[in-house]
Structure 1
Amino acid sequence: MAIIRTAIPSLITAIRVLLLLPVWILLSHGRHDIAAAILLAVMGITDFLDGYVARRTGAVTTFGKIFDPLSDRVVLIVVAIAALLDHLVPTWLLVIVLLREILVGITVLADLLIHRHRNDVVWIGKAGTFGLLLGFPLVVLGDGLHQPIVKETAVALMTLAVVLLYVALVFYALNFARTAHPEELP
């Protein structure tokens, strides 16, 4: 029974990743409609839900601590590329989102491989990820319903989210440096 309990949060995370295919299909075929926005919103909800369920049921695992943020990276990269190809948000915004995701991936992977240390997710990074996962469905919805105010609000939210994500990147980089030279940093 404990195995099933600990598997549920990872199953929720896996659903988020599996939803990428229908979202990609909808977005790549120019379908900025309610279906794509709903699937993106469900993906955002699963990002909150997997961690919530894991903490509430005592099912936090090392696998989940790695699988959830890795899934976030994959989801954000794929959705950002789909949005970039479909011109849903400004190119500059998506480029800095993609750059940040690549930098975080390199930092986290280097820390794991070089120092055998896994970075814990920082709250500000979760807030930034939430902002992007909220912004993407709103931008799709605003575009599909031809509501520029919804789309502009979503872009503003996503811009703020990216700022938070870069602050989180600084924390990850500092943690990497601290792990490399613990005697030199406070």
Structure 2
Amino acid sequence: MPSPEPTDADEASFDDGSSEGASSEGASSEGASSEGASSEGVFDNIWTLPNLFTLIRLLCLPLFLYLLFAQDNRAGAAWLLAGLGSTDWVDGYVARRFDQTSEFGKVFDPTVDRLLFIVAVTAIIIDGSIPLWFAIAVLAREVIVGGVIAFATLFLRMERFGVTWLGKVATFMLMGAVPSFLIGTTDVWEAPFFEVLAWLLGIPGLLLSYWTGIAYIPLVRQGIAAGRTSATTSTALVSSAPVPAIEPATETNDHERP
């Protein structure tokens, strides 16, 4: 999820003399129409390969819970969770590689990622396979950051921005630490290795996640300002659009008919 890049400035050319106003008005109308043509609704273009892959990852969540609680298979649940976390990049790569990005996918993918993470950590807390203080710290960061971004997007018209590179690193480390805590409590031969790996990934990942959460504050403020500016510009374009004049109907005098 790359950080947002600035858009190119619009270019416009004007004629000399009295045609300057007409050219400017035409350019504004053309820009407004092209902007409307390029806009895409959230529920447009849903059925894409990246969105299907994200849906499959989401459907693996009940299987994770089944392995952990119904089968008491901590190792199997841990490996499944590790697989879900390590394939997080696949849908984004496919979307960019095959030009299948969609507005729905931009919302669906991070929502599924956060849901998988929160449910998995909560389930492991119930199972007692992760230090409680660590799990609460992880969940608190996810809920606070996710809640702020959702509120700003829905109610403050914030423009969405991508996750920073450090944010990706923090997420990757935590997604490795959480299943490592789980598999470290099993009786498999590699359990001691994963018990150590969980702390090696967990502590730096947790600190980095809070650091990136603080670093998102200016990005959120910029996104809110950009969203308000975009909404004001769109309103101004609509209000300044020329309205065709309606000529009043002329009444005919019967005495003037031939």
Scaled by the length of structure 2, what TM-score is found?
Answer: 0.62
Within 1, Cα distance between the matches of 2:92 and 2:127?
Answer: 31
Does residue 178 in structure 1 map to residue 229 in structure 2?
no
Q: Which of 1 and 2 has greater Rg?
A: 2
Distance change in 2, residues 1:124/1:9 (3 Å): same
2:174: which partner in 1?
132
2:152: which partner in 1?
111
- Structure that is richer in helix per residue: 1
Deviations 1:88-125 (A, max 9, x none): 12111100111011111112112212124223222222
Of the three residues 67, 81, 93, the one matched with 2:134 is: 93
How is 1:15-54 mapped onto 2 (pairs within 5 angstroms)?
Answer: 15-29=56-70, 31-54=72-95
**CA shift for structure 1 position 128:** 1.6
Does residue 158 in structure 1 map to residue 199 in structure 2?
no
2:120: which partner in 1?
79
For the residue of structure 2 that corresponds to 1:89, the secondary structure is coil
Distance change in 2, residues 1:86/1:33 (3 Å): closer
Matching residue's letter, 1:22 = L
Q: Is the 8 A contact 2:158 2:224 kept in 1?
A: no
Within 2, Cα distance between the matches of 1:89 and 1:70?
Answer: 24
Cα RMSD for the two superposed structures: 2.2
2:256: which partner in 1?
none
Within 2, Cα distance between the matches of 1:93 and 1:166?
Answer: 13
Q: Is the 8 A contact 2:75 2:183 kept in 1?
A: yes
Within 2, Cα distance between the matches of 1:163 and 1:69?
Answer: 21
Aligned length: 179
Scaled by the length of structure 1, what TM-score is found?
Answer: 0.84
1:69: which partner in 2?
110
